[in-house]
Amino acid sequence: MPSREQNGCSCRRPESVSGVILVCLCLAFSMLWQGGCRTSKTVVPNDQELISIFRAHRQAFEQLQEMATADARRNWYLGASDPGKLDQSRRDGYKKLTSEIRPDLQVAMNGTTGVIRFIFAGEGSAIGSDWFKGIEYVPGDYTREGVLLPDLDKAAMLPDSLYVREIEPTWFIFYQRDK
């Protein structure tokens, strides 16, 4: 009987083929685990970074605050109302100013208190705690807004609450965590 090699069939032993496949699968799994399957951890900006951003873009922050306050007098609240109710040039103005500070910046206004939040980082889920950190404009009594601290870089270790650090009167860094 002719051998497999003589018939043009050069088959490998099943053990070596399955070993190669197993190594390839382990390598692929490892690459996916290290690179793509884990969710990336949100980078929390430290206080000094936020203060530097505020000082570098102070005029944009103040213009956004003035625009949002004026629009609130007409019952339109930034981050809560339908953007379609503003004319295109006003929407473009908001977009230009927020992009000047940071392209992915989230901005929202509380219509009751007049507080305007510029959210730089945050996470949340339906089954876990939510947290947010950023800069806020507080037109009234900041003590109603949160607990005043000299440093919010380690606020994640504190109990769930709202914490603020003054940049200057009416402008604060905030850190909020809720259950």
Tell which residue, 138, 131, 101, has the closest CA to residue 116: 138
Question: What CA–CA distance (Å, rounded) separates 150 from 148?
Answer: 7
Residue 82, amino acid: D
Report pLDDT for 15. Answer: 52
Low-confidence ranges of the chain (pLDDT < 70): 1-41, 125-129
| Residue whose pair of structure tokens reads 């609450």 in the numeric block | 161
Q: What is the pLDDT of residue 134?
A: 97
The model's pTM: 0.74
Cα gap 103→72, rounded to integer Å: 23
pLDDT at residue 173 in the model: 98
User: Whose CA is closest to 153, among 45, 69, 58?
Assistant: 45
pLDDT attached to residue 127: 65
Sign of the CA dihedral running 64, 148, 133, 152: positive
